Structure 1
Amino acid sequence: MTKILITPKSFANYKEAVYPLILEQGYEIIENTTGRTLTEAEIVELAGEGVAGIIIGVDPLPGSVLEQCRDVRAISKYGMGMDNIDLDKAKELGIGVRNAAGSNHISVAEHAIGLLFAIARHIPHNVASVKQGHWERAMGIELTGKIIGLVGGGQIGREVAIRAKGLGMQPVIYDPFLRDESFLEAHGIRREHDLDRLLEQADVISLHVPYTPETKHLIGERTLGLMKPSAILINTSRGELVDEDALYRALTGGALAGAAQDVFSVEPPDGGHPLLQLDRFLLTSHTGAFTREAVARMATLSTHNLLDLLNELPARTRTS
């Protein structure tokens, strides 16, 4: 029987809703039972033979793995970002790939706003202090009237802009690929065509772009130097967008007021990482899309995407 590999750990929470869709089309299901992200070797071991499709989370699918998964002809991303998949190699091998666009943008946007409140009002530090028996106060800032610069105007960036507008903030979007001027007009949101100018004027910068070779360390020594010393950085996209060493220097040197991220370049990070020792830096465990609603949507959409691809694409031709 042809098989489908499902790697996301949270996918099983919705198996009663989506597994019947897979089983009724005659596929056998292989689950990730490790409780963690699979390694490349484990993926090859599970999907090297007889697996037609993979529903993938953040597990690695480089070209070397795709070549060894000899029967895979369809990959469905459980989420949006596909930087863990070698898309060029997939195309070369005739493997179809789709992401679950529109499934988690609301949850991630709400998490970004939550991180912004947390760092602006020192909420985690204050809560921890009170629980330790202290009754101290750290002065925060109001968000009303502040300029929030959205780097990226896709689904998530737009949802953050709408919510920020509702908070009385002034959203400004930088995205050279944004073509929907009607969205900006409908919500009264300004557009900035120069990233440097956006960084110079914003009180908050929130990142909403994919990780690519071009966006690696988009926020680094030079770009951090353009930001106001009073500014806050929010990153719910990918850890690799930020040069973490440069961010540490900016926070400890007074060049930046605070930063809050849901992502890190290596997840989980080393517990001794210097950024984790700073009260002005917050890190959550890549939970932006981890809500009941988003997970249910991702499970359903990624399942339909995979089955649609498998029905559309021919069997993969083996070269050896």
Structure 2
Amino acid sequence: MKIIITEFMDERAVAQLAAKHDVVYDPKLVDKPAELLEAAATCHAIIVRNRTQVRGDLLAALKSCKVVGRLGVGLDNIDVPACEAAGMKVIPATGANALSVAEYVIASAMLLLRGTFASTPEVAAGKWPRNALSNGRETAGKTLGIIGFGSIGQLTGKLAKALAMNVIAYDPVMKSDAPAFAQVGAKAATLDEVIASADVVTLHVPLVDGTRGLFNAQRIAAMKPGSILINTSRGHIVDVAAVAASLKAGHLGGAALDVFDTEPMPAEPMFEGCPSLILTPHISGVTYEGNERVSFMIAEKVLEALQ
């Protein structure tokens, strides 16, 4: 059978697939629409990351496809109901990159709370901004507010507890007495409670109608003065212009944004001069180890689905 892989994947996992099936692996195939549609017309499985849109023309071309493997967990780039209606099984790599994302969140929180780690150019130039950088905040004792308490949110909470942080969490589909809260040592809270009381707010929700625009200017203004906002979930959930404005106004104490409405993100003048801002190109879940786990999980599940 034929498998096409449209974005980067651990090459050892690719070899595992190629040992049993005909594999077309091109990490840049996502950017070659004509070639992608041609390959899709005869494939029995397609493996994608977040940029390949499995809908519209591509979905229509997948006439012989039995399985869609997703190298990650978000499914907003895949029309899941349409795939299932066409007889295709959609398989995400649930849990495989959770540790990578959780570590990114904790590292970003520590960097932004302390606020001292951008001083290298000044110190190297012979300056000594010691007084200006002596008001950084410790992580221990701060409250981490988690919005979306699935596998990634729960693991993030466990890491935070190990650093002596208080953890509160909100999940719209989880009851307040769900065992996960007690297992992590987190307090169940409402969305408004998390926004108003957390020193660090981290988002781990999918992009659906109910989360689109969730963190607008009004909700950002309701956050605790000096608090940190971290978004590793999806673009469109956070109003990035409102984040930039809040940072410049001194209300937010910092922000780490790993996902954007358009990816790759075009040059954005709004971010110029923003203090305490970390921008990364959708890599919170992509580490050497995380990519290895995700790739082998999907390879094994795709092989199983094609039996």
TM-score normalised per structure 1? 0.87
Residue 30 of structure 1 is matched in structure 2 by: 24
2:68 corresponds to 1:69: no
2:54 corresponds to 1:54: no
Q: How many residue pairs were aligned?
A: 302
1:21-63 CA deviation, whole Å, 9 max, x = no partner? 32343x21111153x853555531331x211101111222223
Q: Give the alignment's Cα RMSD to 1 decimal.
A: 2.0
The separation in 2 between residues aligned to 1:306 and 1:171, in whole angstroms, is: 37
Unaligned runs of 5+ in 2: none
The separation in 2 between residues aligned to 1:277 and 1:71, in whole angstroms, is: 51
2:152 corresponds to 1:143: no
Residue range with higher mean Cα deviation, 200-209 or 124-133: 124-133
Unaligned runs of 5+ in 1: 312-320
Work out which of the residue numbers 148, 152, 156 in structure 2 matches 1:156. 152
Residue 189 of structure 1 is matched in structure 2 by: 186
Residue 107 of structure 2 is matched in structure 1 by: 114
Work out which of the residue numbers 49, 68, 78 in structure 1 matches 2:71. 78
Please list, as runs of the form range in 1=range in 2, the aligned pairs for 1:90-109 lying within 5 A after superposition: 90-109=83-102
Q: Indicate how the Cα distance of structure 1 residues 60 and 128 shifts in structure 2: closer, same or farther if over 3 A, else same.
A: farther
2:275 corresponds to 1:279: yes
1:152-175 CA deviation, whole Å, 9 max, x = no partner? 111110111111111111100101
The separation in 2 between residues aligned to 1:276 and 1:87, in whole angstroms, is: 38
TM-score normalised per structure 2? 0.91
The separation in 2 between residues aligned to 1:131 and 1:52, in whole angstroms, is: 56
Shift of 1:131: 4.2
1:48-105 CA deviation, whole Å, 9 max, x = no partner? x211101111222223320122222210101111111111221221211010112110
Please list, as runs of the form range in 1=range in 2, the aligned pairs for 1:1-320 lying within 5 A after superposition: 2-9=1-8, 11=9, 14-16=10-12, 18-25=13-20, 27-34=21-28, 37-38=30-31, 40-47=33-40, 49-58=41-50, 59-136=52-129, 137-138=132-133, 139-178=135-174, 181-192=178-189, 194-311=190-307
Secondary structure in structure 2 of the residue aligned to 1:240: coil
The separation in 2 between residues aligned to 1:241 and 1:162, in whole angstroms, is: 24
The separation in 2 between residues aligned to 1:114 and 1:61, in whole angstroms, is: 33
Q: Which amino acid aligns with 1:147?
A: T
Q: Which amino acid aligns with 1:102?
A: G
Q: Indicate how the Cα distance of structure 1 residues 246 and 292 shifts in structure 2: closer, same or farther if over 3 A, else same.
A: same
Contact kept in structure 2, 1:145 and 1:170, CA below 8 Å: yes
The separation in 2 between residues aligned to 1:279 and 1:226, in whole angstroms, is: 20
Secondary structure in structure 1 of the residue aligned to 2:119: helix
Q: Indicate how the Cα distance of structure 1 residues 3 and 124 shifts in structure 2: closer, same or farther if over 3 A, else same.
A: farther
